[in-house]
Amino acid sequence: MSLKLYSDYPRPATNRSKELDPGNVRFNHGISGSQEVPAKPSSVSPPALLSKPFPEDYMSSKQAYELLHRELTQDSKPQFNLATFGTTYMEPEVEKLITESLPKNFIDPRAYPATANIERKCLQILANMYHLPTKDPRDIAGASTIGSSEAIMMAVLAMKSNWIKRQEASSSDKSGRPNLIISSVAQVCWKKAARYFDVDLQYVPCSEDRYVLDPVKAVDLVNERTMGICCILSGTTYTGEYEDVKKVNTLLIQRGLDIPIHVDSASGGFVAPFVVPDCEWDFRLEKVVSINVSGHKYGHVYPGIGWALWRSVDYLPKDLVFHLSYLGTPQASFTLNFSRGSSHVIAQYYQFIRLGNAGYTHILTEIIKVSRHLTAALQDQGFLILSRKSGTQGIPLVAFQLDPARKHNFNEFALSDELEKRGWLVPAYHMAEGARHIKLLRVVCRRDFSMALCERFVRDVRGSVRKLERRKSVN
């Protein structure tokens, strides 16, 4: 398998960040003696050095910093990356905490008991937010992860293990793989989890006028090999819309089906509780056994932090939890990786105590205002909107397409390229299985996408469309 290197990727000539700001240089003087590499300016000029994979000689820390700092200015400015759900702004105070905790390995609770305690506090906050029935914090079954993908992998493993146990106890056919029912708009991590852990995905396709899971079609697919149904309250990666978890729950009860639901609330898990607190999608619904959420999306922490929670320890199979003591204290481990940084767990707790319920609600209200303004502005320019009402029916993203009735001489992909030339990253893509002919663009509204920035974006969309209209057909 050949790995793709950064240098393999095309570097578009855009107005990306150019400034070199040596004022931000921070030098680590924390080691001394024989381990310290003596300061020695390299005689080779920095650009030539970067073309060598592993240089023979060393350079000074200042030179290494400046060299990399300059190289990295070729990346997009995160604030202008409207493709990502990932947080691109945090306050300097929390950035300081992140830096301070970089040397702490999260796996070592004996050395870092305060950090381990902070993870438990975060889990307790999330358990309350998602209406976990237990009131005793010691009974909370959950873990911090690198992101929702890892949380989903763990949830899939747990569902599979529980299904195998149910099969072993029953008289049904024991051969074959389990299946998981999910909408075709599922994020790629579900495909990965299914392939890595030998699970079949039973897709409920979307259609011309429905871009989320159809609850009836999903429950109709249940058979004896079904280990669970996944509902996406993220909302979906394509249009941001919430799926109807409550309807799936009701149908399972009405039909007497003992099938667990996992809710993928990667983004929505930090939106719905503050915007539509009465919307029932979490542990209030009896069939919901596990939930994942990304702290690094609307949890307002830089990538990577995610969370996995189970309704109770009964849904977290004991054979998946490893007990070890070689770090000096007995501990239980249920994550895919062993070592991991502590900074993001600490940063998540910072956001919880810094913002509280009022802060999360306020930030979301502002983001939703911007996303609704953008929706209206794009409609004014003649685009069709595919996302639902931001906040109440979906997360604050705007999915839009060119109106086919206007017979444009360019398509959504050309518009995405044109916007990139102006510094904006706005992905163009095809809808999922069932409606693949539909092309769309997506803007994820985040905390640092202010109203002023939104106005600038709207002007750039208008300018890009005008420019493309003057050109020959690029369909």
Positive or negative: CA dihedral 283, 285, 286, 291? negative
In the bound state with ligand PLP, the residue whose beta carbon lies nearer, of 242 and 352, is: 242
Provide the minimum distance between the beta carbon of 270 and ligand PLP in the complex, in angstroms, as a whole number.
12
In the bound state with ligand PLP, the residue whose beta carbon lies nearer, of 180 and 232, is: 232
What residues form DSSP beta bridges with 230? 262
Site residues for ligand PLP, 289-308, by CB under 6 A, read 294, 306
φ and ψ at residue 233, rounded to 5 degrees? -110, 30
Q: Residue 265 burial (CB < 10 Å; 0-12/13-18/19+)?
A: buried
Provide the minimum distance between the beta carbon of 264 and ligand PLP in the complex, in angstroms, as a whole number.
5
C-alpha to C-alpha distance for 461 and 383, rounded to whole angstroms: 11
C-alpha to C-alpha distance for 247 and 349, rounded to whole angstroms: 33
In the bound state with ligand PLP, the residue whose beta carbon lies nearer, of 153 and 414, is: 153
Site residues for ligand PLP, 16-45, by CB under 6 A, read none
Provide the minimum distance between the beta carbon of 294 and ligand PLP in the complex, in angstroms, as a whole number.
4
Contact with ligand PLP (CB under 6 A) among 109, 142, 147, 273? 147
Torsion of CA 151, 155, 157, 160, to 10 degrees: -160
Binding residue count for ligand PLP, defined by CB under 6 A: 14
Provide the minimum distance between the beta carbon of 267 and ligand PLP in the complex, in angstroms, as a whole number.
6
In the bound state with ligand PLP, the residue whose beta carbon lies nearer, of 180 and 468, is: 180
Site residues for ligand PLP, 232-271, by CB under 6 A, read 232, 234, 237, 264, 266-267
- If one counts every other C-beta atom within 10 angstroms of the C-beta of residue 146, the result is 20
Q: Which stretch binds ligand PLP (CB under 6 A): 144-152, 269-277, 375-383, 430-438?
A: 144-152
Provide the minimum distance between the beta carbon of 160 and ligand PLP in the complex, in angstroms, as a whole number.
18
In the bound state with ligand PLP, the residue whose beta carbon lies nearer, of 184 and 464, is: 184
Torsion of CA 336, 102, 9, 21, to 10 degrees: 170
In the bound state with ligand PLP, the residue whose beta carbon lies nearer, of 153 and 468, is: 153
C-alpha to C-alpha distance for 313 and 134, rounded to whole angstroms: 10
E strand or H helix that includes residue 216: helix 215-220
CB 316 within 8 A of CB 310: yes
In the bound state with ligand PLP, the residue whose beta carbon lies nearer, of 149 and 464, is: 149
Q: Which stretch binds ligand PLP (CB under 6 A): 20-28, 141-149, 196-204, 442-450?
A: 141-149
Provide the minimum distance between the beta carbon of 403 and ligand PLP in the complex, in angstroms, as a whole number.
27
Torsion of CA 392, 393, 396, 399, to 10 degrees: -150
Provide the minimum distance between the beta carbon of 233 and ligand PLP in the complex, in angstroms, as a whole number.
9
438 binds ligand PLP (CB under 6 A): no
C-alpha to C-alpha distance for 199 and 178, rounded to whole angstroms: 5
39-69 burial, b at 16+ Cβ within 10 Å, e below that, comes to: eeebeeeeeeeeeeeeeeeebeeebebbbee
Name the closest residue to ligand PLP (Cβ): 147
Report whether the peptide linkage leading into residue 382 is cis, meaning its omega lies within 30 degrees of zero. no
Q: Which stretch binds ligand PLP (CB under 6 A): 231-239, 246-254, 333-341, 429-437?
A: 231-239
Where residue 165 falls (left for φ over 0; alpha for ψ -120 to 50; beta otherwise) is: alpha
Site residues for ligand PLP, 56-115, by CB under 6 A, read 85
Site string for ligand PLP, 180-209 (x = CB under 6 A): -------x-x--------------------
CB 444 within 8 A of CB 365: no
Provide the minimum distance between the beta carbon of 85 and ligand PLP in the complex, in angstroms, as a whole number.
5
Provide the minimum distance between the beta carbon of 432 and ligand PLP in the complex, in angstroms, as a whole number.
12
List contacts with ligand PLP (CB under 6 A): 85, 147-149, 187, 189, 232, 234, 237, 264, 266-267, 294, 306
